[in-house]
Amino acid sequence: MNKGSKRLLQYKKNVYSQAGEDGIIEKILYELPVKDNWCVEFGAWDGQHLSNTRNLIENDNYNSIQIEANNDKYKDLVNFYGQNNNVTTVNSLVGWEPKNNLDCILKDTGVPVSFDFLSIDIDGNDYHVLSAFSEFSPKVICIEFNPTFPVIARFVQKADVSINQGCSILSLVELAEKKGYKLVALLRFNAFFVKEEFFYLFDIEDNSPECLWEDMSYLTYVSVGFDGTIFVSGKKTLSWHPGVRISDGGMQVLPSFIRAFPDNYSTIQQMWFSIFVFFSNIKVKVTFGKIKGRLKALFKSN
């Protein structure tokens, strides 16, 4: 068995997946001492597009629960798997409340409590749905994270179905560990966790996100000059909005006339900087017109 923290990455392979997930899933499951040949995926989409379970169903004879909330895509899912007796399709939004969490949805499906593999890919509230279920404990979990956050950042979007922001890998790892899971591999968008009792099987010397994360191409870096100028480097694009770039000019916080090293400020610059900070720290939102009016009143009083 090869050693090294990133050893699982050598098994990357796409049959139907997006970034090598199929090969890593196969390898992780191969290493497990006990399997029941059950997998669950949500959002399953149409059962075909960039699926993390289709390969298991078609080539490894897996039983599966396929969950999709979108009505149109669910119809496609039913059409695709309608003749497969090993697949149960569910039209439901997996949430984080007792009435709609994964425990509630799976309880009457016949899937084993400790089924082999769970794929979570819902483009936003992945963290919250992972946090919410406790009755089922899949052996392996593949879950999406937002690769634009650095490994040292903690971020979790608000639990809201109308928001699509995601979570950072660090926040996801901390949650998974509380639930008894260990990180074993990282791809561009997906993190792989195994139950703590199986972690020893993978000979991973260091499973920290810093060590396992190989593809950091989605990161954009923001740096600040001594004069307050903001510089952007790295990917410099809105990754899910093609063609929209992040520019240095669009990121500036300080107006150009006070963008200087503070020790070199003139008296007028110091005054304008104080005004800028004052209004920047106002907690209540005000319109530009109100700001303009307050500035005029401030100068008249002086």
- Model confidence pLDDT, tens digit, residues 90-120: 999 999 999 999 999 999 899 999 999 999 9
Flag the least confident range among 132-141, 227-236, 242-251: 242-251
Average pLDDT, the chain: 90
For residue 247, being part of any structural domain is answered with no
For residue 170, being part of any structural domain is answered with yes
For residue 77, being part of any structural domain is answered with yes
For residue 255, being part of any structural domain is answered with no
CA 8 – CA 18 distance, rounded (Å): 16
Q: What is the pLDDT of residue 227?
A: 95
The range of the structural domain enclosing residue 84 comes to 7-212
Q: What is the pLDDT of residue 1?
A: 39
Give 283's pLDDT tier (boundaries 50, 70, 90): very low
Q: What is the pLDDT of residue 155?
A: 97
For residue 186, being part of any structural domain is answered with yes
Q: What percent of the chain has pLDDT over 90?
A: 80
Give 298's pLDDT tier (boundaries 50, 70, 90): low
What six digits make up the tokens of 123? 């483009």
> CATH number of the domain that 175 lies in?
3.40.50.150
β 181-186/117-120 pair status:
unpaired
Q: 301 in the Ramachandran plot: left (φ > 0), alpha (ψ -120 to 50) or beta?
A: alpha
CA 34 – CA 56 distance, rounded (Å): 16
Helix, strand, coil shares of the chain, percent, nearest 5, are: 35, 15, 50
In the chain, DSSP assigns E strands to 38-42, 63-68, 87-91, 117-120, 140-144, 181-186, 190-195, 220-224, 230-234
Give 31's pLDDT tier (boundaries 50, 70, 90): very high
For residue 291, being part of any structural domain is answered with no
Higher pLDDT, 136 or 49: 136
CA 213 – CA 164 distance, rounded (Å): 23
Residue type, 210: E
Say how many domains are in the chain. Answer: 1
Residue 116, burial from CB neighbour count under 10 angstroms (0-12, 13-18, 19+): buried
For residue 162, being part of any structural domain is answered with yes
For residue 251, being part of any structural domain is answered with no
